[in-house]
Amino acid sequence: MSHYYRLVISCPDRVGIVARVSGFIAGHGGSITEASQHSDLATGRFFMRYEILADSLGMGAGELREAFAPLAREFDMTWSLHDTRERRRVVLMVSRETHCLVDLLYRWTAGELDCEIAAVISNHDDMRGLAEWHDIPYHHVPVIPDTKPQAFAQVEQLVDVTGADCIVLARYMQILPPALCERYAGQVINIHHSFLPSFAGAKPYHQAYQRGVKLIGATCHYVTEELDAGPIIEQDIHRVSHCHTPDDLVRFGRDVEKAVLARGLRWHLEDRVLIHGNKTVVFA
Amino acid sequence: MSHYYRLVISCPDRVGIVARVSGFIAGHGGSITEASQHSDLATGRFFMRYEILADSLGMGAGELREAFAPLAREFDMTWSLHDTRERRRVVLMVSRETHCLVDLLYRWTAGELDCEIAAVISNHDDMRGLAEWHDIPYHHVPVIPDTKPQAFAQVEQLVDVTGADCIVLARYMQILPPALCERYAGQVINIHHSFLPSFAGAKPYHQAYQRGVKLIGATCHYVTEELDAGPIIEQDIHRVSHCHTPDDLVRFGRDVEKAVLARGLRWHLEDRVLIHGNKTVVFA
Amino acid sequence: MSHYYRLVISCPDRVGIVARVSGFIAGHGGSITEASQHSDLATGRFFMRYEILADSLGMGAGELREAFAPLAREFDMTWSLHDTRERRRVVLMVSRETHCLVDLLYRWTAGELDCEIAAVISNHDDMRGLAEWHDIPYHHVPVIPDTKPQAFAQVEQLVDVTGADCIVLARYMQILPPALCERYAGQVINIHHSFLPSFAGAKPYHQAYQRGVKLIGATCHYVTEELDAGPIIEQDIHRVSHCHTPDDLVRFGRDVEKAVLARGLRWHLEDRVLIHGNKTVVFA
Amino acid sequence: MSHYYRLVISCPDRVGIVARVSGFIAGHGGSITEASQHSDLATGRFFMRYEILADSLGMGAGELREAFAPLAREFDMTWSLHDTRERRRVVLMVSRETHCLVDLLYRWTAGELDCEIAAVISNHDDMRGLAEWHDIPYHHVPVIPDTKPQAFAQVEQLVDVTGADCIVLARYMQILPPALCERYAGQVINIHHSFLPSFAGAKPYHQAYQRGVKLIGATCHYVTEELDAGPIIEQDIHRVSHCHTPDDLVRFGRDVEKAVLARGLRWHLEDRVLIHGNKTVVFA
């Protein structure tokens, strides 16, 4: 099967970037199968993503990175080149609400998510059977107030051991410690069960019910130190009415959460999400 | 043309309400063309709305009200009976952004809004031509910091004179004084250009842009003393991305605002919106 | 836990139906927790659905049916009374595309679908493991051109044996024989992977791709003899663009299909779907 | 105010196109403010659109076209270069349903549509007042069966005289003769009041009502000889239920039609729509 290099760049905008980068690729015979650019006029920052057919280039990813480095330096780029044969390693974290976990595992089985699932970590033991049925290691790390630091030290160690480069909080109802957020900045994806910035924090569907909103939502975002305030990747909504109880909102919400998290994670895994301050550029 | 009586009731829930009310209507030969009920389990409150073909009853609205009153007392009802021949009188208030005004006037002309438009009041004089082209009186009431109380006294007097029973803030960018809000409680409809409770207050599209949300919205609600906090009637959203500038958000938002306000106002005029604490029951 | 009686009625419209039915319920002390009515002006037909708290009545479902029968005859009603303790028995049929099956099983486990799943029948053996993990009998009934009649005789016998009152074609890619459609009229629910009536028949996503539509959809409908032409219960769509290949359409479509089928089936199981000629009244 | 050159290209895909085109622009100091590409894998065709800040280039549109021509020939491009100072000239055609016309005129006044409106042509005289209030010439060309050829000869002449390069059928309920379709291929935009390919032809909302669909829609497309079968630019939908009469569908439909036509026309005017066989590439 064909594999691809994904070249992702962010740099100060100036004349000629596209010409130089595309010229570089063409100069090596590279066939670009997908190209996206964005110039942010407010900040003067430029973003691009190229998907290049690997076999069209006469070199491997390492060699390509080396060849590209001088150009990257010249334009002061923040950049990465990702070979699609090197599949990302994802750790899924979950608490009692399991719909997102079940949904992601199904999508992964169906080939919708291009990654390895390195482990499932939970503060409960309920989903061990399902994880192991998928041949995925399951780690039960209870989190109780008295031993939180130890628990998260264990979580961090488990993530280290798996060599994961992405952590998905698939309705994991514990707050990660700031140090962990910082260490994995831009690699931890959360699904929040409200249309942020409305109803941050606990029990958002009950907050929504109390406020009498006519649409509920879910938000997929990168985790930062400040709770529910990180860069938003994707959001969606579901219509509700006076007929619906908080339980109905929770039920509708499950579907929105599943869909939003699955889209956000897929885009992240395909290098389509570029962080820009506290916002994202998403080349969906 | 047929006319209708709209009977709208809210009362403590108990067995037999529907039987007694529908029995009362049937006992007078009344043909119910539309019926809606809602039992709010959390508060034990019951809501209903009947649309009754007027000619099927052998009496006028006044007589019907009198005949119904004992039953209403028995069940401790808050209720109203509205004859569709008595068209509501609406005052539209607008500032510089005119898309909602233009949209409402078109819908009114096209027969989508069953009301009289008694007047347009604005703190600018720009839309006089359009209003007068529709044969609607236009009142220019400038609002400047020093003379706010006088300005709103004039607004109140104008509303009084028109005999209006509904005030629509169609992007009217001034805050009504508390006394006015209270006097017209449940009769003042505002369109706020965000998906409340996100981005209450000023410049919501710019707030949304700064936060990097992926959906923007608009909210139609009843005005209460607390800014942008009244009972929500209707909301909707529009998808945005990193490509879009604040100006794009404003442009998309115009379409959402128009649609949301038009739906909310139409439902209000058809007695489909029942206030329940700080929420609404909408029999749409 | 409380149980309910669901009274569902369709009859010629005339004055006093609601009064008589609600009077009957109230006369037995019945507490109505949800009520829906619809008068179809074009056909003069009336539809209603009551959800009645069983314990508020001093009688069982059988006694209630007997007591109600004279009234039903008087108004020439087509009607049913369903005790929620008598859970419906559903047979799921599936071919190679398993997303709907997996989704329904998860929702069933999560308590979203109030039914027994009596069996899974498939023309392939792939999903035996999953079904049996849920303790649901799995029947592999291969369908090949030469032995179709025998295969469907076997399917019919299996359905008979389970005592099922609902058959769900959860992406079952075989056409049921007319006799089976007729025998289970109004009880066989199909998910078609297009926004009907567009793209009936085979490979709808490829048809949609060829036509260059900007939205794809899915349709949940009752099966009738004429392929993809039965009463529609629910539909939804997903936005697509020139970027998307037929494979992308298939992938997006899976999510729409799951959601649409789950909603349609849930409404069916809750007696919310009333057939009206080749259309449906859905008291959602 | 800044103006822009919009370079729009379609050609056989091959390695190096982006490099050569972006190199050409950069070589003249051109600053690209927006860039879009698409490689259609099924047909091997490549599409691109560049928005270039005119003042960043040391030449006018004519000179730029001349300089670019050899490169265009080399890659066998179908291409155009459009100076945003040369505003397109649009003719709006309308019959009795005027919501799209009113909506387009408002958007045009509000600056959402970058074009001249050269004329309004109608087979009725009703909208003369509104057109003339906008200082737009209005032509009443009655179309009756006996004199159709003469009527359309007159329409064609009027379009010729205005020098229009875009004709919008804003609910114009007459079928254009094939010769006119052919002559203005890719320049005539229609709004059809259904979700095509469902319900092509007459009275689509009534067809939709009869079929009992749960969503209605509208489709903006280029007109070709075959009725309602041309390349689709944009579509959208609105949810309906058994409660809604054909009149309700018509009313909901008006909002969908307005929105869909406005988006489609805006994209056309901004050179964002590239025709690809009977489909479109839309760089929205």
For the residues B6-29, what does the mean pLDDT come to? 96
Q: Across the beta sheet with B115-122, what order do the strands follow?
A: B138-140, B115-122, B88-94, B166-169, B188-192, B215-222, B232-239
- Give me the pLDDT at residue A171, please: 97
The interface predicted TM-score of the complex, written ipTM, equals: 0.95
CA angle B14, B18, B19 (to 5 degrees): 105
The dihedrals phi and psi of C183, each to the nearest 5 degrees, come to -60, -40
- Nearest CA-CA distance, residue B133 and chain D, Å: 10
Judge whether A228 counts as a catalytic residue.
Answer: yes
Nearest-Cα residue of chain D relative to residue C211: D279
Asked if residue A101 and residue A10 are part of one domain, the reply reads: no
Q: Please, are residues D273 and D233 in contact by the beta-carbon 8 Å criterion?
A: yes
Q: Please, are residues C120 and C131 in contact by the beta-carbon 8 Å criterion?
A: yes
Of C26, C48, C83, the last residue of a domain is C83
Nearest-Cα residue of chain A relative to residue B264: A214
Give the pLDDT confidence of D153-208 residue by residue, as tens digits. Answer: 999 999 999 999 999 999 999 999 999 999 999 999 999 999 999 999 899 999 99
Does residue C93 register a pLDDT over 90? yes
- Nearest CA-CA distance, residue B258 and chain C, Å: 23
- Nearest CA-CA distance, residue B60 and chain C, Å: 19
Asked if residue B271 and residue B160 are part of one domain, the reply reads: yes
Q: What is the DSSP track for A177-240?
A: PHHHHHHTTTTEEEEESSSTTTT-SS-HHHHHHHHT-SEEEEEEEE--SSTT-S-EEEEEEEE-
Q: Which band of pLDDT confidence, cut at 50, 70 and 90, is reported for residue B2?
A: confident
Task: Please provide the average confidence, as pLDDT, over all residues in chain D.
Answer: 96
CA dihedral B58, B59, B65, B68 (to 10 degrees): -20
Residue A2: closest CA among A48, A35, A50, A51? A51
Sign of CA pseudo-dihedral D166, D253, D205, B115: negative
Does residue D110 register a pLDDT over 80? yes
Asked if residue B70 and residue B148 are part of one domain, the reply reads: no
Q: Please, are residues B183 and B196 in contact by the beta-carbon 8 Å criterion?
A: no
Task: Please provide the average confidence, as pLDDT, over all residues in chain A.
Answer: 96
- Give me the pLDDT at residue B240, please: 97
Asked if residue A97 and residue A75 are part of one domain, the reply reads: no
Q: Which band of pLDDT confidence, cut at 50, 70 and 90, is reported for residue C74?
A: very high
Q: Which band of pLDDT confidence, cut at 50, 70 and 90, is reported for residue D73?
A: very high
Q: What is the DSSP track for D130-176?
A: HHHHTT--EEE----GGGHHHHHHHHHHHHHHHT-SEEEESS--SPP
Active site residues of D: 228
Question: Rounded to 5, what percent of chain C is helix, strand, coil?
Answer: 35, 30, 35
- Give me the pLDDT at residue C2, please: 87
- Partner chains of D (3+ C-beta pairs under 8 Å): A, B, C
Asked if residue D129 and residue D232 are part of one domain, the reply reads: yes
Q: Which band of pLDDT confidence, cut at 50, 70 and 90, is reported for residue A182?
A: very high
Q: Which band of pLDDT confidence, cut at 50, 70 and 90, is reported for residue D2?
A: confident
Number of domains within chain A: 2
Residue B144: closest CA among B124, B159, B120, B125? B124
B117 three-state secondary structure: strand
- Give me the pLDDT at residue C163, please: 94
Does residue D118 register a pLDDT over 90? yes
Q: How many Cβ pairs closer than 8 A exist between chain C and D?
A: 83
CB contact under 8 A, B38 and A276: no
Q: Which band of pLDDT confidence, cut at 50, 70 and 90, is reported for residue C273?
A: very high
User: Is A134 at the interface with chain B, CB within 8 A?
Assistant: no
At how many degrees (to 10) do helices B99-109 and D99-109 cross?
A: 160
Work out the percent of chain D whose per-residue pLDDT is above 70.
100
Asked if residue D100 and residue D29 are part of one domain, the reply reads: no
Chain B residues in contact with A215 by the CB 8 A cut-off are 195, 217, 235-237
- Measure the CA–CA gap between A199 and B274, rounded to whole angstroms: 25
How far does Cα A180 stand from its chain's mean position? 16
CB contact under 8 A, A215 and B237: yes
- Give me the pLDDT at residue D58, please: 84
User: Is D18 at the interface with chain A, CB within 8 A?
Assistant: yes
For the residues B210-238, what does the mean pLDDT come to? 96
Give the pLDDT confidence of A156-180 residue by residue, as tens digits. Answer: 999 999 999 999 999 999 999 999 9
Give the pLDDT confidence of D197-248 residue by residue, as tens digits. Answer: 999 989 999 999 999 999 999 999 999 999 899 999 999 999 999 999 999 9
Asked if residue A272 and residue A189 are part of one domain, the reply reads: yes
User: Is D74 at the interface with chain A, CB within 8 A?
Assistant: no
Asked if residue B125 and residue B9 are part of one domain, the reply reads: no
Does residue C87 register a pLDDT over 80? yes
Give the pLDDT confidence of C255-264 residue by residue, as tens digits. Answer: 999 999 999 9
B108 three-state secondary structure: helix
Does residue A55 register a pLDDT over 80? yes
Nearest-Cα residue of chain D relative to residue A14: D31
Work out the percent of chain D whose per-residue pLDDT is above 90.
97
Give the pLDDT confidence of C127-177 residue by residue, as tens digits. Answer: 999 999 899 999 999 999 999 999 999 999 999 999 999 999 999 999 999
Chain C residues in contact with D236 by the CB 8 A cut-off are 215
Chain C residues in contact with D196 by the CB 8 A cut-off are 198, 211, 213
Largest CA distance in chain A: 63
List the single best residue of D9, D33, D39, D71 to mutate versus A (max A Cβ within 10 A): D39
Does residue A58 register a pLDDT over 90? no
- Measure the CA–CA gap between D61 and D69, rounded to whole angstroms: 12
Strands (E), chain B: 4-12, 31-40, 45-53, 78-83, 88-94, 115-122, 138-140, 166-169, 188-192, 215-222, 232-239, 273-276, 279-282
For the residues C88-113, what does the mean pLDDT come to? 96
Q: Which band of pLDDT confidence, cut at 50, 70 and 90, is reported for residue A2?
A: confident
User: Is D48 at the interface with chain C, CB within 8 A?
Assistant: no
The dihedrals phi and psi of A117, each to the nearest 5 degrees, come to -100, 105
Q: Which of residues 49-68 of C touch B (CB under 8 A)?
A: 56
With tokens 């047909």, the residue in question is D43
Asked if residue A228 and residue A118 are part of one domain, the reply reads: yes
Asked if residue C132 and residue C62 are part of one domain, the reply reads: no
DSSP 8-state secondary structure symbol assigned to residue A241: -
- Measure the CA–CA gap between B157 and B152, rounded to whole angstroms: 8
For the residues A207-213, what does the mean pLDDT come to? 96
Q: Regarding predicted confidence, which is higher, D1 or D102? A: D102
Residue A104: closest CA among A92, A86, A89? A92
Give the pLDDT confidence of B152-207 residue by residue, as tens digits. Answer: 999 999 999 999 999 999 999 999 999 999 999 999 999 999 999 999 989 999 99
Q: What is the CATH number of the domain that holds B77?
A: 3.30.70.260
Chain C residues in contact with A112 by the CB 8 A cut-off are 251
List the single best residue of C40, C49, C214 to mutate versus D (max D Cβ within 10 A): C214
For the residues D249-272, what does the mean pLDDT come to? 98
Asked if residue C182 and residue C42 are part of one domain, the reply reads: no
- Measure the CA–CA gap between D284 and D282, rounded to whole angstroms: 5
Q: Please, are residues A241 and A218 in contact by the beta-carbon 8 Å criterion?
A: no
Q: Please, are residues C9 and C21 in contact by the beta-carbon 8 Å criterion?
A: yes
Q: Please, are residues B255 and B272 in contact by the beta-carbon 8 Å criterion?
A: no
Q: What is the CATH number of the domain that holds A236?
A: 3.40.50.170
CB contact under 8 A, B99 and D112: no
CB contact under 8 A, D18 and A35: yes
Structural domain boundaries, residue A54: 4-83
Chain D residues in contact with A29 by the CB 8 A cut-off are 15
Question: Rounded to 5, what percent of chain D is helix, strand, coil?
Answer: 35, 30, 35
Asked if residue B177 and residue B190 are part of one domain, the reply reads: yes
Does residue A1 register a pLDDT over 80? no
- Partner chains of B (3+ C-beta pairs under 8 Å): A, C, D
Of C36, C63, C83, the last residue of a domain is C83
CB contact under 8 A, C280 and D234: no
- Nearest CA-CA distance, residue D283 and chain C, Å: 9
Question: Measured between CB atoms, which of B19, B20, B26 is closest to C15?
Answer: B26
Does residue B1 register a pLDDT over 80? no
For the residues C268-283, what does the mean pLDDT come to? 97
Of D51, D83, D115, the last residue of a domain is D83
Q: Which band of pLDDT confidence, cut at 50, 70 and 90, is reported for residue C38?
A: very high
- Give me the pLDDT at residue C137, please: 97
Q: Which of residues 232-251 of C touch A (CB under 8 A)?
A: 251
- Give me the pLDDT at residue D244, please: 97
Does residue D1 register a pLDDT over 80? no
- Partner chains of C (3+ C-beta pairs under 8 Å): A, B, D
For the residues C104-124, what does the mean pLDDT come to? 97
Q: Which band of pLDDT confidence, cut at 50, 70 and 90, is reported for residue A132?
A: very high
